[in-house]
Chain A
Amino acid sequence: MDTLATKRVHLLARVAFVWALLIVARLVQLQVVQHGKYKTLAQQQQQRRVEVRAPRGMILDRHGERLAMSLPVESVCVNPLRVPDIAVASDILSKILNLDHGDLLYRMKTALEDRRGFLWIKRRVAPQEAARLRGLKLEWIEYRTENQRFYPNRTLAAHLLGGVDFEENGNAGVEQALNDRLQGHDGEMLLTEDVQRRGFQSTTQSEAQPGEDIHLTIDSSIQFVAEKELAKMVDQHHAHSGSVVAMDARSGDILAYANYPTYDPNESLKDKEAAAREDLAVAAPFEPGSVFKVITLSAALECTRLRPDSIINCGGGKIVLPGRTVHDHNRYWELSMEDVLARSSNIGAINIGLTVGPRLLEYVRRFGFGKKTGLPLPGESSGMVRRLPSGKGAIGSLASVSMGHEVGVTAVQLAQACSVIASGGNLIRPRLTLDTPVAKPIRVLKPETAITMRRMMEGVVIKPYGTAHRYARILGYTSAGKTGTAQIYDNHLHQYTHLYNASFMGFAPVTNPAVVVVVTINGTAGLSGYGGPVSAPVFREVAAAALRIQDVPKDLPEMLPATEDDQADVSDVAIVDVGSSIPPPLVQPGDAVTAGDEPAAAAKVALDQRIFSAGPAIPVHVSYATPVSDAPRVPNFQGKTVRDVIQESAALGIPVEFIGSGIARAQIPEPGEVLPVGRSVRIQFGR
């Protein structure tokens, strides 16, 4: 018989058993029957979807220097429905985030009234602001990580790079054109967290794909020089705007691409800045003016029997065309074809163009005008090349095209056209990204035509009467080019204004061109607003920098250029490129010293003293020796052949020292200087 205690134990056991049974039943219900439901609930509580941001690709220059990059930054937002006190919240947030208190309070109140569960307070806040907010440990403040685009070089290559909007989509420049490659695709990760919100397990739902880095062909250093020189010249001449395009003559790589006025892409667009953001070099076609004579003369060399020494009738500076009369800037009667280019005779160019005939337009198109260059830039214009009208209008149209009117070109198109001459007759497509394969060159001119054109264009620079003489000569290098000055047409008044498009397109060195530079400055005025004095100096500085940076071997001894005005006939288009006050490079007024020294030597002494001087520069006053008025002066041998130099020096009784062969490209002493007794003139010849 069971005792009382045993009975008690048995009863307790039964109760416990029933209890356990209930628990097991409940467990079965929870873990088996309702497994799915509670698993979902647990996951919702423990797991969090984390967005893995894929940064937008960087934009780098050809040497890997960063031009544009993205950094994750925090944005602040709130759920207005969870904010305990709107007034206090707006007070705290406005103070830390430097926001207008009233505006923020209004926005939060409106959001609350609209029962909105999300409100951006400030996007892309500074790290210090985010840290201060986090320090408050207010649970109703939420943070979102977003990427922000930074342009560390600020205005450098601003038009080329473009910009992005708030969602990091490109809205201008390369950022827009190559948006698909630059833009990354965000990924998603499922993160399991413990009660202290510490993650301990993560599953990648979709892989983040960062944007592709784009290596541009531009060189930051050359770009900087181009922008600096362009800005300086535009400001100096009170012009409206300007563009510079520097291009590798062999590969078509765009080395510099500058527009002015410019802007800082880090800052949002302001009302007055809209014009500054226009990419003039590809989007704004203009009448090129005299630079187009290069095309006319190239076509003439190919299609006619005209040669550089062929005499062209310049009609005394006037030609009568059907319906109009065209005047030249100077009254030339007869000029050789190379002098037509060097002196930029309009009538000469018209006559050459008329000799070529309708095939001129074929060559215009062959040089790439009237078609987009294919650069990955939005809004590129294809320019304008009209069809030749029938009848008498054809002559007038041909005449206009011959001297660079009735056509619209962009600076990039001009650079492409200039590269035809520089590359020996091949059209080389410009390239903006290093991963773009170099396009197969298209034969446009015969090699001999291109070589002839090179020498003729060199004459523009080295001939004493060349329109770019003194302005486009580069120390240590041969250079060639063509100036252009086109009057700007007023679309409202339907007439030409007295403002000019001053242009220069050229390349260097002449023997083996490495760089092509095109400069256009829009809105110059007055006698000093022509292509020679305005654009050619920019070419000189940019080309010199490009040649130096690219380690191109020098093909001339480093001689100081002339400091005095030559009797140059520096005229182009319908305008005369008269001498300006722009000083030649390196020799600046106030640099040289020592009365009695030769100007060149004096300048050299002064410059030597300034080389890498760590301390303050020694101010040295310059005063050139006053030349004896009746003493013989050194003539200008530049641009002449060896034979001509021998004849002229023999006639004057001047001893000459020859270096090299071909055409005289530089000389010491400079033209116009007094030759000291017992000294000879040293002349550097080159082909």
Chain B
Amino acid sequence: MATLAPILDRFTTADRTQPVPAPARALEMEDQFAVPQFPNEDVYFRVKHIDNSRVVRTADPAARKACWRMIGYSFVFATLVITLLLPTLYDLMAGYRMEALRQERSRLQLDRAALELEEAKLISPARLAELAKMQQFVDPAPENVVYLDTKSDAILAKSDADPAKSSAALAAK
């Protein structure tokens, strides 16, 4: 496997005819810091111990300042971009929501229309007449029709089961 470096070197090295030194397998074995090479590759790694315990970092306030400034600018820029993109994002989310609601509305309208149709079928005069026949309801006899005042006396119709209550309601009036 060839790495990028030899490929680049072909373009950068002036003397391309100069032969590449052959790997010295003997040297490799002698060097105690050498690590095993990649198979079939002319790449060698060596371990070099560096002691930088005595290195002291030089104070560089300007670099620190520049660094923080960069962080600040980046943050402001990111915030600005996000702020600018936020409405678009919100629009997108709202669009999804609106379309979902639109579909929901269509579905509910359809359900409502179906229920209205069902209701219309259930209260059709033919069905009511059939139910009345099943319940053996008949038209009242002559002079036996009682007209209820829908505003005030409707309660009488409801409390018909208990005549005492009806009488009491009448008496109260």
Could you tell me which A residues sit within 8 Å of B by CB distance? 4, 7-8, 11-12, 55, 65-66, 69-72, 150, 152-154, 156, 191-192, 198-202, 220-221, 223-224, 228, 475-476, 557-560, 586, 604, 607-608, 610-617
Nearest chain B residue, comparing its CB with the CB of A69: B117
Contact of A152 among B102, B120, B140 (CB under 8 A): B120
Interface of B is mostly: helix
Chain B residues contacting A12 (CB-CB under 8 Å) are 8
Chain B residues contacting A192 (CB-CB under 8 Å) are 95
Chain A residues contacting B121 (CB-CB under 8 Å) are 152-153
Chain B residues contacting A153 (CB-CB under 8 Å) are 120-121, 124-126
Chain B residues contacting A611 (CB-CB under 8 Å) are 138, 140-141, 144
Chain A residues contacting B125 (CB-CB under 8 Å) are 153, 156, 220-221, 223-224
Q: Is the CB of A66 within 8 A of B129?
A: no
Interface residue B38 (Cβ < 8 Å from any Cβ of A) = no
Q: Is the CB of B144 within 8 A of A202?
A: no
Task: For the complex of A and B, list the 3 residue pairs with the smallest distance between their C-beta atoms, beginning with the closest.
Answer: A224-B125, A558-B142, A152-B120
What are 9 A-B contacts with C-beta separation under 8 Å?
A7-B12, A11-B11, A66-B120, A152-B120, A153-B126, A199-B103, A202-B98, A220-B125, A223-B125
Q: How close is B82's CB to chain A, nearest CB, in angstroms? A: 20
Name the residue in A55, A66, A557 with the highest tally of chain B Cβ atoms < 10 Å from its Cβ.
A66
Q: Is the CB of B136 within 8 A of A8?
A: no
Q: Is the CB of A557 within 8 A of B143?
A: yes
Q: Is the CB of B124 within 8 A of A559?
A: no
For residues 113 through 150 of chain B, which have their beta carbon under 8 Å from a beta carbon of chain A? Answer: 113-114, 116-117, 120-121, 123-126, 129, 135-145
Q: A8-B5, A69-B116, A72-B110 are in contact. Are A152 and B142 (CB under 8 A)?
A: no
Contact of B141 among A8, A202, A607 (CB under 8 A): A607
Cα distance, A4 to B15, chains bound together (Å): 13
Interface residue B43 (Cβ < 8 Å from any Cβ of A) = no
Cα distance, A616 to B136, chains bound together (Å): 7
Interface residue B99 (Cβ < 8 Å from any Cβ of A) = yes
Q: Is the CB of B95 within 8 A of A8?
A: no
Cα distance, A7 to B102, chains bound together (Å): 62
Q: Is the CB of B117 within 8 A of A150?
A: yes
Q: A8-B8, A12-B8, A614-B136 are in contact. Are A476 and B99 (CB under 8 A)?
A: no
Nearest chain B residue, comparing its CB with the CB of A558: B142
Chain B residues contacting A557 (CB-CB under 8 Å) are 143
Chain A residues contacting B136 (CB-CB under 8 Å) are 610, 613-617
Q: Is the CB of B126 within 8 A of A558?
A: no
Q: Is the CB of A614 within 8 A of B124?
A: no
Q: Is the CB of A202 within 8 A of B102?
A: yes
Nearest chain A residue, comparing its CB with the CB of B140: A611
Contact of B117 among A71, A202, A476 (CB under 8 A): A71
Cα distance, A191 to B103, chains bound together (Å): 12
